[in-house]
Structure formats: C-alpha cells, structure tokens
Amino acid sequence: MPGRLGVRERGTRSAMAERVQVTLDVQGMTCDGCAAHVEQALRGVAGVEEAKVPGWRAGRGTVTAGVQVGNDALVGVVEAAGYRGQVRERRALREGQRFLARGDTYDLMIVGSGSAAFAAAIKAAELGATVGLVEADTIGGTCVNIGCVPSKTLIKAAELCYRAAYPRFEGLTACPPPSDWQRVVQQKDELVAALRQGKYVDVIKVYPSISLLRGRARLTGPRSLSVDGVSYAPGKILIATGSRPWAPPIPGLAEAGFLDSTDAVSLPSLPSSLLAIGAGAIGLELGQLFARFGVRVMILEAGPYVAGGEEPEVGRALTESLGQEKIRICTNVRIERVEKPDAEYAVHAIIDGKPEVCRGEQLLVATGRRPNTADLGLAAAGVAVGPRGDVTVNEHLQTTSPEIYAAGDCIGEPMYVYVAAYAGGLAAENALTGAGRVYDLSALPHVVFTDPQVASVGLSERAARAAGKAVQTAVLPLEHVPRALVARDTRGLFKMVAEAETGKILGVHVIAADAGEVIQAATLAVKFGLRIQDLVETFHPYLTMAEGLKLTALTFDRDVSRLSCCAT
Ligand SMILES: Cc1cc2nc3c(=O)[nH]c(=O)nc-3n(C[C@H](O)[C@H](O)[C@H](O)COP(=O)(O)OP(=O)(O)OC[C@H]3O[C@@H](n4cnc5c(N)ncnc54)[C@H](O)[C@@H]3O)c2cc1C
C-alpha cells in the first residue's frame, strides 16, 4: 500500500548491501542449553556480528553478518554442533541499518495480544529482541475469542443442522426445528479455550524473550508508555489494539440496547426472531447462522446490495440464496428510529419508499468496526489518527511518531486476521531493524462465510473501469460447473475480470460452496499476472469447484454449454 502517509523512509534504498540477515531453521534442540550452544556456534563464524536463537522450542535462529559469510558456513557450524540446520531466508541489510533498537527493559513493547501482536512478538524474538506484550483483556484478542473461530464453528454447526433437516434445497417451506443451541455454544467455548491455549498462551512459553504483561497500556510520550501506572521506555513501540463493533447514531438505538457480534456468538438462548442491521460479512454470516437454527431472520441494509463491496451479480445471487432459506433481506433501507416498547424491538424504517415497522425479539447491529484507539494517549506520543480513529501509518507501518509503529485492525480496513498477522511481523521487523519492508496488500483475497460462500480477489469490474482500464468480463453460472451439478447445488456463479488487450486477469469473484478454497488458485493468478489463456492451458481436475476457474476463462470466447466433459 504505497504512501499511506507519504513519509519517506530514512536511509537510502539503493545503497549497496554489505551485511545480510540470515534466518535459519534449526532442528534437534531439546533444551535451552541447546539453544545457547547453537547461538554460540553461530557467533563463532568469522564475519558474524550478532546471532540469536530465541529458545529451543522456537527451532529458529537469526544471524547478522557480513555479506561474505555464506549460508554453507552457518549451516556447517549448526551441524557440527550436532543439530540440523537449513537457511530459511537471506535478506540484504541496507547501509546503516542497525540490528536492533534496544530499550530499558524491552526492545519492543506491543500494546495488545491479538494476531498482529503475536506475529510481531515472534518476529521480534527471532530477531533477538526482548518483547513486552501488554494485554488489558483476554489473551489472543478478537479472532480466537470472539471473531473468526467462534463464528465459523457456529456456522459449521448450523450448516450441519440445516443439511440434516434439508438434504436438498428445493421446496423449502419452513424453517428447520431449533437444535440444542446451549450445547453448540458450549462446544464452541471448548474449542475457543483449546485454541487460545495452544495458539497463544503456550506459544509465549516457546519464546523466553517474550513476556506477557497484564494491564491497560497508555502511551506517555514518543518512546514511553505506562501499564496500569508502571512506566516503561522500550526501544520501539507497536500499537496492535484491534477494533471493536461500531453502531450508527440511530435515534433510540442506544436506549433500546442491542446485540453486537460478540454478544451474538454467546447468546444464552435462541430468540424466535432476529432483526439484523447491516448486510456486510458479519451481518450476513450471523443472520444465516441464526436462520439455520430456526430463528426468523430479517436483514436491513442501507446500501443497494448485500455484501456491498462485492460484484452486483454476486450480491444478487447471495440475496436469492438467502431468500430460499426464508431470510428476508431488504436493501436501500433507511432506519428512522428504534424502540423496544415490550418484549420485542420495533425498528421504524423506510423500505422501498414505504414506512414499515419491523419487529423482532432480538436486534443485531453489524454495521462495521472501529479501531481501539481512544484513551491510548496517542496525542501525547505524537501519533496521528484518521477520521475513524485509525492510526495513520506510512508504507512501512510507521506512525507519525518515528519510534512507534502500528499493525492490525487499529490501522483500519481491511480488517482480516491474516492481514493483521502479516502486518504485525512486518512492522516489528521494520521497527527493530529498519528493514524498510513495504506493506503490500495487492492480490488480497477475502471470504464471506455464508453458504454459498462468497470469495473474491483483485479488482471488481467497477473498480477496474474506475481505474481507467479497458476490461473484458466473463460470468459463468454454476449450472455449467460439473462439481455443482453432482452436488445438486448450483447456487452461485464465477465472474472474471481481465484486461481487454492482454487478457491479464485483474480480478476473480466467486459465489459457490467452498468458494473460499477456490479463491486461492485465483489469488495466484492475480498475484503473478496470469492471463486468461494461462488458465485455459492449465489442468484443473474434473469435478472440482476450482474447475469453474478454467470454465470461466473459456467463457471469454466460447459457449461452455456446448463443450464436452473436462472442458476440452
Ligand atoms: C465476528 C467476527 C468474525 C470474524 N471472522 C473473520 C474471519 O473469518 N477471517 C478473518 O480473516 N478475519 C475475521 N475477523 C476479523 C479478525 O478477527 C480481526 O481482523 C483480527 O482478529 C484483528 O487482530 P488484531 O491483532 O488487529 O486485533 P485484536 O485481535 O482485536 O487484538 C487487540 C488486543 O488489544 C487489546 N487492547 C486494546 N487496547 C489495549 C490497551 N490500551 N492496553 C492493553 N491491551 C489493549 C485488546 O484487549 C485485544 O485483545 C472477524 C471478526 C469478527 C468480529
């Protein structure tokens, strides 16, 4: 993402590299004595400036050395010490680039302990830094505790329940019977606890140089912060405070009260009916989830389509699919006020130009998230924020205060866990070593976990045209995809956007069962600049959903309904 702030990195990008940073995988270590042994062996190689093996469980070592130090020499001393070594990455260091920013107690302090924070802490530990990870609430942050993991396990449970009740989709006349919701929620909580332990709590034990500090952090200056009143002056600071649900200022909403996504995934009992405001990914996923547990669901959306950022064809196909499950979806809705006069909510809205009062036992507001940046002392530290509270960063994820970096949901959209983790690792490395790595979100795929799933990568037709590109597009309904036919589920379509002149694939948009799996191949196509013909000439196994990619590519100049099997 070039020039989010336009601040140029200090130092010269073109300077000849004379030093390198080498990361090695080291196998066979069984105790911290082994880690020290390997570290010592690496330090003993002539030309090595610094070596760090952050504990035996990490299985990793990082070395800074003169450019003349070869990979073989490093692997050789690891093996001579009795372990197996392999170079994972060798990166040139720019002139003047220092190895680490050292602090008083910690080289890097990270505010937050979610996905961005953990990726940053691990990268920093591998680089040899001491890390203080500060968490005010539950370790692990949003994804594992209240986001991806709980929502996706409930969605899967709902799908199983639904498919058991309706093996085929045609002829739906009523909602399936309510299932054992409490048991499902309990199983979800067990999975969340296990993953929190395995992927967060236990990971800290792998890296002795990472410490978890419990408390609320507040920045007190350009290189200082306090945690519940205790002051620290780390070498660098990373803000990774995530985001929280946001609700629009609808009259009466705050007084009536409502559910956000966090409440919804832990509801003690199922309501008979649910009104959802917002048809973005979270509103759609949760809306369908509850409908599949037998709740009468109505979704109210201000924009013209559901899943607003997606292609209109995709939005229409999703609306149709959800409609088949008796979910009422209204778009172009203007909500005037919310009341809760009795046991039910009353949402007063203008729908299709006519006033309507929508009633429901529960009200879910899923209208987006905002960064957790209030009360963080950002102004005192010289860190600027945007209009939605998103921390302003440059292409290296450095904030307007040079010693402070930021990553994850707190820098704003796109808010995905894999983006947060990528950003965290990159920000830590840039902060500690001045590596100058650029935050690059080109060819970023995303998935909406409805059924059918929506997945997309690259440019939409609208965005490509708005960027002044001449494009050609192809749309393939799923009734032409053999996988969909044999699964008897032809809900959905593929859409491909390509450069008119060259056939270079600019974007792929899929609504289909398992679209999230299919999009990975499309991501490679967009990332590596493949053309339509490249997909046509590539084998796609018969009876996979991914075959839809090849069939869509063929659709640019052929009528696929007239082709034989295997689309040859
Ligand atoms: C319902 C739902 C479903 C989702 N599904 C998906 C999905 O399927 N796929 C996907 O990619 N993404 C999904 N996401 C988004 C994903 O969860 C987030 O993008 C990701 O978790 C953000 O990680 P983070 O590290 O930036 O922040 P977080 O994980 O939110 O971590 C921030 C941490 O900072 C702590 N903190 C905040 N302020 C302070 C302070 N002052 N002092 C100390 N600690 C502080 C917070 O307590 C929190 O633990 C979903 C989100 C939701 C809500």
Question: Which has the higher per-residue pLDDT, 435 or 419?
Answer: 419
Catalytic, 166? Answer no
> pLDDT value at position 435?
86
> pLDDT value at position 22?
92
Whether the CB of 261 sits within 6 Å of ligand 1: yes
Per-residue pLDDT averaged across 539-548, rounded? 95
Catalytic residue among 16, 106, 109, 148: 148
- The answer to whether 119 touches 127, Cβ cutoff 8 Å, is no
- Check the CA dihedral 188-194-199-200 and report its sign: positive
Whether the CB of 548 sits within 6 Å of ligand 1: no
- Check the CA dihedral 46-50-55-58 and report its sign: negative
- The answer to whether 60 touches 25, Cβ cutoff 8 Å, is yes
Question: Which has the higher per-residue pLDDT, 361 or 17?
Answer: 361
Residues 6+ apart with CB under 8 A from 377: 218, 219, 220, 225
- The answer to whether 348 touches 357, Cβ cutoff 8 Å, is yes
Question: Where residue 480 falls among pLDDT bands split at 50, 70, 90?
Answer: very high
What is the distance in A from the centroid of ligand 1 to the CA of 229? Answer: 25
What average pLDDT is seen over the chain? 91
Percent helix / strand / coil, the chain, rounded to 5: 35, 25, 40
Q: What is the pLDDT of residues 276-306, one digit of tens each?
A: 999 999 999 999 999 999 999 999 999 988 9
Whether the CB of 401 sits within 6 Å of ligand 1: no
Question: Which has the higher per-residue pLDDT, 562 or 549?
Answer: 549
Whether the CB of 238 sits within 6 Å of ligand 1: no
Number of other residues whose CB lies within 10 A of the CB of residue 249? 6
Tell me, rounded to whole angstroms, the distance of Cα 508 from its chain centroid. Answer: 19
If one residue of 110, 148, 267 were mutated to test the ligand 1 pocket, choosing by the most ligand atoms within 8 A of its CB, it would be 148
Protein residue with least CA distance to atom 38, ligand 1: 241
What is the distance in A from the centroid of ligand 1 to the CA of 38? Answer: 36
Catalytic, 161? Answer no
> pLDDT value at position 9?
32
Question: Where residue 536 falls among pLDDT bands split at 50, 70, 90?
Answer: very high
> pLDDT value at position 100?
66
User: Helix or strand or coil: residue 436?
Assistant: coil
Catalytic, 565? Answer yes
Strand order in the sheet with 230-232: 217-221, 224-227, 230-232
Per-residue pLDDT averaged across 5-15, rounded? 34
What percent of the chain has pLDDT above 90? 82
pTM over cut 0.85 = yes
> pLDDT value at position 7?
29
- Determine the length of the chain: 568
- Return the exposure string of 80-115: e unless at least 16 CB atoms fall within 10 Å of the residue's CB, then b: ebebebebeebeebbeebebbbebeebbbbbbbbbb
Per-residue pLDDT averaged across 141-159, rounded? 96
> pLDDT value at position 551?
96
Whether the CB of 242 sits within 6 Å of ligand 1: yes
Whether the CB of 136 sits within 6 Å of ligand 1: yes
Q: Which residue has the tokens 């395995």?
A: 198
Q: Which amino acid is at 48?
A: V
Residue 347 to residue 363: CA distance in whole angstroms: 9
Residue 518 to residue 540: CA distance in whole angstroms: 11
254 has a pLDDT exceeding 90: yes
Tell me, rounded to whole angstroms, the distance of Cα 360 from its chain centroid. Answer: 32
- The answer to whether 115 touches 417, Cβ cutoff 8 Å, is yes
330 has a pLDDT exceeding 70: yes
Per-residue pLDDT averaged across 105-113, rounded? 95
Q: What is the pLDDT of residues 42-90, one digit of tens each?
A: 999 999 998 989 888 889 899 999 999 999 999 999 999 999 999 998 9
For residue 35, the surrounding DSSP H or E stretch is helix 32-43
Catalytic, 330? Answer no
Name residue 62's beta-bridge partners: 23, 52
Strand order in the sheet with 334-339: 334-339, 345-351, 354-360
Question: Where residue 167 falls among pLDDT bands split at 50, 70, 90?
Answer: low
Name residue 224's beta-bridge partners: 221
- The answer to whether 278 touches 367, Cβ cutoff 8 Å, is yes
8 has a pLDDT exceeding 50: no
60 backbone dihedrals φ, ψ, rounded to 5° = -145, 150
Q: What is the pLDDT of residues 526-535, one digit of tens each?
A: 999 999 999 9
